[in-house]
Chain A
Amino acid sequence: GDSVTQMEGPVTLSEEAFLTINCTYTATGYPSLFWYVQYPGEGLQLLLKATKADDKGSNKGFEATYRKETTSFHLEKGSVQVSDSAVYFCALVPPGGSYIPTFGRGTSLIVHP
């Protein structure tokens, strides 16, 4: 079945540091890929997405590129802020109109001033 693997957290960074959170997936065909963010005490919200190979999703300074050859969708940001402290979830939706997403376990990011 489909699966999403994220790097273990927590990831602890100083403000303005470069961020990478790794995400790899296993799925048949070309799934849609997503990053969701969960701020403390809140539900998940969409951060960015990509729907086909080589697409780059971007939002709020975060970027992720859909790499079919490495089945990866790593999240990056050039300069993190304290306000980026949250839990980040990688997810996929299989092709063909499936309505059951598969989520990774989430990676906690802590940014210190």
Chain B
Amino acid sequence: NAGVTQTPKFRILKIGQSMTLQCTQDMNHNYMYWYRQDPGMGLKLIYYSVGAGITDKGEVPNGYNVSRSTTEDFPLRLELAAPSQTSVYFCASRPPPTGNKNIQYFGAGTRLSVL
């Protein structure tokens, strides 16, 4: 089972460049999330989606955009990369909150450096 797949695993950007971090899941989960993880700071939610065509901002959305055209895919777009966006980015998904199914499934992460 593939689960949540993120690409690329590593990327170096120059200031002002743009890129898209890809995330796809094969579990038919409605809910998907993007987090960033800075050293010693835990996870911060950037954007989330509760289904195709529906997205909403998390705690730290500035400088990022998302789209959700299908259930499987939830790409994260950086338009004008800045050094402050150097981080490790994680995509996650989860099934709808039926019963006790509140478990999130994470991808392996994308390590991004902006120089």
Contacts and interface: CB of A to CB of B under 8 A. Distances in A.
What 3 A-B pairs come out closest when comparing CB atoms? A43-B106, A105-B42, A97-B97
Given A42-B108, A44-B104, A44-B106, 19 more contacts: A32-B102, A34-B102, A43-B90, A43-B92, A43-B106, A43-B108, A43-B109, A44-B92, A45-B106, A89-B42, A97-B97, A98-B97, A99-B94, A100-B45, A100-B48, A101-B102, A101-B104, A104-B42, A105-B41
B50 A99 contact: yes
Interface of A: 32, 34, 36, 41-46, 49, 51, 89, 93, 97-101, 103-106
A97 to B, nearest CB: 4
Contacts of A97: 97
B100 interface: yes
Given A42-B108, A42-B109, A44-B90, A103 B43 contact: yes
Interface of B: 4, 31, 40-43, 45, 48, 50, 58, 90, 92, 94, 97, 100, 102-109
Given A99-B48, A106-B42, A46 B97 contact: no
Interface of A is mostly: loop
A42 B110 CA distance: 10
A89 B31 contact: no
Nearest to A104: B42
Contact of B103 (A34, A100, A104, A106): A34
Nearest to A43: B106
Given A43-B4, A99-B48, A103-B43, A49 B103 contact: yes
A104 B41 CA distance: 9
A85 B90 CA distance: 20
Contacts of A93: 97, 102
A42 B58 CA distance: 23
Contacts of A46: 103-104
A93 B97 CA distance: 10
